[in-house]
Structure 1
Amino acid sequence: MPKSQRLIQLIMMINAKKTFTVQELADELGLSTRTLTRDLQELSELGVPLYSIQGRGGGYKLLQERLLPPIAFTESEATAMFFACQSLNEMGSLPFDDSAASALHKFYHYLPADLQKQIDRLKNRVMIWNPQRSMSPECLRTLLQAIMNHSVVTIEYSSSSGMTQRNIQPIGLYTSNGYWYCPAYCFLRNEVRQFRADRIRSAIRNESIPAREDIAQQTLLDKPDKASSERISFAIELTPQGVWALESNNRFGPSIMRRDDGSGTATIQIAQEDIRFYSDIVWQLGREAKVVEPAEAVAYIKQKIVAMNQLYS
């Protein structure tokens, strides 16, 4: 058996056994213990996380994560995989540690030289862009682990009503406009709610609370639909420049009504709880947009104007 094929088979056997002795593997593969010891040393140098157990009955143990056997990719698949992973770099925070960057480095390192050159020509010319938002990677990782293990998490959550402690059972994680969102069952409110990850100040898995099986069966396709909550009209006036700036916005663009002079209006239906979110979008346009209704949004914009005036007075 060629050495490369033998090492791949050895990786697969190690993944299955987790704990083993040299003699066990040598007997199964029909190799000498001396040859197998050299193979294990080579796998360790290649990054297989092996731990040597000393003493009577000792052997080897595979630490935590298993190492997957090689997978063959076509050139187009390799290019797609590279840029899919690279796009994660545009996120401000990720629910992983350094695994994504490490995987991308390994993937690129073992590509043929001509394919590396092709990818190099595309770097910073093709990307999936997201605005970077600041949030806790540790909290994201805890939520991700809870999703994988169907467990409950105790969080400190900052909302408009202040800081509260919640026990939640996460359903999933998704990102939109640079923010991470976590639909989860809230044991405090006894219903599924949506939590914005950047507002989670701390997250600790809570093994003392049993997870609900019905919640564990839900996916992101079952996330809360704000269409069922109270809806109000959010109306704005736009200058021609404001129309140009918002016409590509998927929230306002389809509702813009243009006038002959290039200016326009937009009226959309939003959830009551999202007033500040939409007001902040309009705020970014400065003099190019004016909130007409609801009154709460107008009052919120006026507060921001007063605060800004005080800052520069």
Structure 2
Amino acid sequence: MLKSQRLIQLIMIINAKKSFTVPEIAKEFGLSTRTITRDLEELSALGVPIYSVQGRGGGYRLLRERMLPPIAFSESEAVAIFFACQSLKYFGSLPFDAGAAAVLHKFYHYLPTDVQAQIDRLRDKVAIWSPERAMSAPALQALMQAVMVRSAVTIAYQSGDRVTTRDIQPIGLYASHGFWYCPAYCFQREGYRLFRGDRILSASLNPSIAFLEEVDKRTVKDWNEPELRQMDHTGLAVRLTSVGSRTLETNGWFKDALERHPGGGASIRMQVPAEKLRFYADMIWELGAEAQIIEPAEAVDYIKRKVEKMRELYS
């Protein structure tokens, strides 16, 4: 076996064992303890986080996270990953600590110089903008860790001028307009709720709470579908200009109901939960004169009241 192959296999064994002794690894490879010791020293110098444990029952242990064996990427794949990570820098907080920055550094450092030069030319030419919102990075990290290790979480959540303590089981995380959102099952409310990341002041794993398998089956795409189906619905009809149509074509709440008209403009006809009507109306309100709600009357009246308040404000 080539030395490079042996080192890769050694990384995989370390990942699986986490703690081991030199004699047992030497026996597994059929090599001397001296050779394995040199290999471990070389892996340590390359950045594999292993350390020796002295005394009875000593040996070696993995210090932090497990290390993945080397993976070969083509130049185009490396550039794609580089810009995927680069796009995350516009978020105020991320749920994976400094991992994205470390990936960027490694990819850039080991790319050929000509590919580095191409990336350098594109750094300020390609961007995926996202409004930067202030959020607790440790809280986001705890929520993501909870999903990975199947654990409940205790959070401090700010709603209005009140801060409450909640025990939740996160379903996942998603980002929209710069905000992170966490759909979860709330043990206090005994139901599913959507928590906004910037309002979660702190979060910590709480393994004392039993993990619910039925909650884990839901995803960020369908986390509240069963509850929505049971709600009373009402029809929402909207007329859009061509500008309004282009604005809503990337909005996940409306894009599937968008019906474009010849010559520009579009219309929307869809069923929405009656108790969520103001939520949908507020999104249409943001389009200003580029959109007009036709029905239901409750939504039209709601928009008229908002218009009147604006008129009073500027009169």
Instruction: State the TM bucket, normalised to the shorter chain.
Output: 0.7 to 0.9
Q: Distance in 2 between matches of 1:174 and 1:148?
A: 15
Gaps of 5+ in 1: none
CA distance 1:255–1:278, shift in 2 (3 Å): same
Q: Deviations over 1:160-200 (max 9, x none)?
A: 59443322111111112222121111223322222222222
Which secondary structure does the structure 2 equivalent of 1:175 belong to? Answer: strand
Q: Deviations over 1:90-140 (max 9, x none)?
A: 222111111111122112211222222222222232333322222111111
Cα deviation for residue 222 of structure 1 reads 2.3
Report if the CA contact (8 A) 1:279-1:301 is conserved.
no
Which secondary structure does the structure 2 equivalent of 1:114 belong to? Answer: helix
| Residue aligning to 2:88 | 88
| Residue aligning to 2:172 | 172
| Residue aligning to 2:137 | 137
| Residue aligning to 1:64 | 64
| Residue aligning to 1:198 | 198
Which secondary structure does the structure 1 equivalent of 2:130 belong to? Answer: coil
| Residue aligning to 1:103 | 103
Q: Distance in 1 between matches of 2:198 and 2:155?
A: 12
Cα deviation for residue 145 of structure 1 reads 1.4
CA distance 1:14–1:92, shift in 2 (3 Å): same
2:18 paired with 1:18: yes
Return the TM-score normalized by structure 2: 0.77
Q: Distance in 1 between matches of 2:161 and 2:307?
A: 19
Report if the CA contact (8 A) 2:156-2:202 is conserved.
yes
Number of residue equivalences: 303
Q: Distance in 1 between matches of 2:265 and 2:48?
A: 62
CA distance 1:19–1:232, shift in 2 (3 Å): same
Report if the CA contact (8 A) 1:276-1:297 is conserved.
no
Q: Which moved more, 1:59-68 or 1:184-193?
A: 184-193
| Residue aligning to 1:43 | 43
Q: Deviations over 1:13-61 (max 9, x none)?
A: 2112211122222233233333322221221121111121011331110
Question: Identity across aligned pairs (percent)?
Answer: 51
Which secondary structure does the structure 2 equivalent of 1:185 belong to? Answer: strand
CA distance 1:111–1:255, shift in 2 (3 Å): closer
Q: Deviations over 1:180-227 (max 9, x none)?
A: 121111223322222222222222222222121211222223222486
- Over the aligned positions, Cα root-mean-square deviation in angstroms equals 3.7
Which secondary structure does the structure 2 equivalent of 1:169 belong to? Answer: strand
Q: Distance in 2 between matches of 1:6 and 1:256?
A: 60
Q: Distance in 1 between matches of 2:42 and 2:311?
A: 65
Gaps of 5+ in 2: none
Letter in 2 for 1:192: Y
| Residue aligning to 1:55 | 55
Q: Deviations over 1:57-78 (max 9, x none)?
A: 3111012311000011122222
Q: Distance in 2 between matches of 1:55 and 1:161?
A: 55
| Residue aligning to 1:8 | 8
Letter in 1 for 2:153: V
Q: Distance in 1 between matches of 2:93 and 2:30?
A: 48
CA distance 1:145–1:175, shift in 2 (3 Å): same
Q: Distance in 2 between matches of 1:162 and 1:236?
A: 36
Q: Distance in 1 between matches of 2:311 and 2:138?
A: 35
Q: Distance in 1 between matches of 2:130 and 2:140?
A: 17
CA distance 1:304–1:145, shift in 2 (3 Å): farther
Q: Distance in 2 between matches of 1:190 and 1:109?
A: 49
Letter in 2 for 1:169: Q
| Residue aligning to 1:215 | 215
Cα deviation for residue 235 of structure 1 reads 9.2
| Residue aligning to 2:184 | 184
Return the TM-score normalized by structure 1: 0.78
Report if the CA contact (8 A) 2:18-2:62 is conserved.
yes
| Residue aligning to 1:248 | 247
Q: Distance in 1 between matches of 2:13 and 2:20?
A: 10
Q: Distance in 2 between matches of 1:279 and 1:169?
A: 29
Q: Distance in 1 between matches of 2:165 and 2:292?
A: 37
Report if the CA contact (8 A) 1:233-1:294 is conserved.
no
Cα deviation for residue 266 of structure 1 reads 9.0
